[in-house]
Amino acid sequence: MTPTACRTLLVAVLGAIALPALAQQRNELAGEWTVDLRPTPQAPAYHKPMTIAVAADGTLTGAFYEHPIDLGRAGATNGRPCFSFRTQDASGPYQTSSCLVGDHIEGQTWSEGRRFVLTWQATRTRK
């Protein structure tokens, strides 16, 4: 078997494993969430909305911090659904990655333009 054929087979096998897991768990991600973006645990709550939809192929769409999600992808491995996406404002792109942990989402966002990384949590507002 050629190296290209091996890679193609591996991608197909991994996809066959990951997509059913994602299909079972994508509804757990979908919906409206309230994200607490406080910079420290002692800071006052700083809430922003996040809306998530996950297609059967793992494409993730919606909005985060009142900006459309771009290039979003979701996957489910090790028993939990996770996702990543990009948003953008006048300062530049933001890269976000997150995982569902129990009944909430734990995430982190990196702002390229403002040069910070912020960890955050989100609670479900509505399915």
Q: What percent of the chain has pLDDT over 70?
A: 80
pLDDT tens digits for range 66-106: 999 999 999 887 778 999 999 999 999 999 999 999 999 99
Q: Could you tell me the CATH number of the domain that includes residue 24?
A: 2.40.128.120
Residue 39 has pLDDT above 60, yes or no: yes
Are β-strands 104-111 and 80-89 bridged in parallel, bridged antiparallel, or unpaired? unpaired
- Radius of gyration of the chain from its Cα atoms, rounded to whole angstroms: 16
Annotate 66-112 with DSSP letters as a single string.
Answer: TEE-EEEEEEEETTEEEEEEEEEETTEEEEEEEEEETTEEEEEEEET
DSSP letter, residue 45:
P
Of residues 50, 57, 55, 56, the one with CA closest to residue 98: 50
pLDDT digits (tens, 9 = 90+) for 41-52: 899 999 999 999
53-72 average pLDDT score: 95
Domain interval for residue 91 = 3-126
pLDDT over 80 at 15, yes or no: no
pLDDT, residue 44, reads 95
Number of structural domains (the chain) is 1
53 CB-near residues (< 8 Å, 6+ apart)? 30, 60, 61, 62
Section 5-23 average pLDDT:
51
What is the token pair recorded at 121?
């949590």
Residue 31 region, left (φ>0) first, then alpha (ψ -120 to 50), else beta? left
For the cut 50, the answer to whether the pLDDT of residue 11 exceeds it is no
Whether the per-residue pLDDT at 14 is higher than 70: the answer is no
- pLDDT category, 25, cuts 50, 70, 90? low
Write down the pLDDT at residue 30.
Answer: 93
